[in-house]
A = this chain, B = another copy of it.
Amino acid sequence: MPVNEIEKRVRGAGLRPTRQRIALAGLLFCKENLHVCAEALHEKALDAGVRVSLATVYNTLDQFTRAGLLRAFTVEGSKTWFDTNVSNHCHFFIEDEDRILDIDLGGDWENQLPEPPEGMEIVGFDFVVRLRPKPLS
């Protein structure tokens, strides 16, 4: 993705295109369905020679999420994961590997969500299916 595309994206989110935000956005939005947690993105940034603090990574991920550029979800009560695929979809989580895979359920699956109780509306949902390698029996 060209740099000025990235800048446009950050601006579009109502955020100043600072060096750190551009760099993080560049790392994030180069892939359609990237899954990262804050710590991992911080490492990625350092590896890429970008000087950012972990706090800024957290802040930036939150800002991008609030702006709708990312989707956040959690697994096993530990880390928060961020997904560049913001459409309604579900995840496989591979235990012991700390790895996430998108599940494409296809169709209008999300229209089949359970009916909320009277007077309530659905804000969102989190659906994670936990996996492990099949034992070789």
A121 CA / B80 CA spacing, docked (Å): 23
Identify whether the interface residues of A are mostly helix, strand, loop, or mixed.
strand
- Contact present for A120 and B133 (CB under 8 Å): yes
For A119, the closest partner residue in chain B by CB is B134
- Contact present for B119 and A90 (CB under 8 Å): no
Interface string of A44-76 (1 = CB under 8 A from B): 000000000000000000000000000000111
A125 CA / B129 CA spacing, docked (Å): 4
A25 CA / B76 CA spacing, docked (Å): 24
Chain B residues within an 8 Å CB radius of A95: 123
Q: What would 10 A/B residue contacts be, using CB atoms closer than 8 Å?
A: A74-B77, A77-B80, A92-B116, A92-B120, A113-B129, A117-B131, A119-B134, A123-B130, A123-B132, A126-B130
In addition to A74-B76, A77-B77, A120-B131, 12 A-B residue pairs with Cβ atoms within 8 Å of each other are: A77-B78, A92-B120, A116-B131, A119-B134, A120-B132, A121-B134, A122-B129, A123-B132, A124-B130, A125-B127, A125-B130, A127-B127
